[in-house]
Amino acid sequence: MDALGETLLDLTLRVASGERTAGERAGHAQVQIWRNWRQSIESVNGRTQTKKTSPEGAPLAVKAAERRLALRYLALETPDGPAFEQVGLILPTSLCAAQPAQLAAHRLNRRLATIGLG
């Protein structure tokens, strides 16, 4: 699970830095505000047109951490005892994954509330 999480985070950072996703390479990408926002300009005749030029520049470089942080992890107390491996991270990787991710998060939050953890 650790390797899978690391792979997902690495892919997310690369895509946020401009790398095209598999869906984008296949030509069926979703429009996302952080990726493909539309820019419009008003022409002489008053009609709004979409600007068709690509953004210029390069993605920002990701800086490495300057030092390792000393962190503690407290276990989550559950009816079955402390849980160290419970992680409630839902990271949708595309626009079409956002709605199911939101539904899953709400379902998990409701479940936690019923056992007194939410």
Q: Does 96 map to a domain?
A: yes
Domain-located, residue 81: no
Average pLDDT across the chain, whole number: 75
Residue 57 lies in a domain: no
Count: domains in the chain: 1
On the question of pLDDT at 7 being above 80, the answer is yes
Range of the domain at 110: 89-117
Q: Does residue 19 sit within a domain? A: no
**Cα–chain-centroid distance for residue 52?**
26
- Give whole-number Cα distances, 65 to 10, 68, 69, 70, 98, in Å: 15, 7, 9, 13, 29
Is the residue at 64 inside a domain?
no
State both tokens at 91: 């990271």
What is the pLDDT, as a whole number, of residue 87? 61
Question: pLDDT digit string (tens) for 27-85?
Answer: 775 655 555 555 566 666 666 666 566 667 888 888 887 888 787 767 778 888 877 76
pLDDT of residue 76: 77
Q: Is the residue at 108 inside a domain?
A: yes
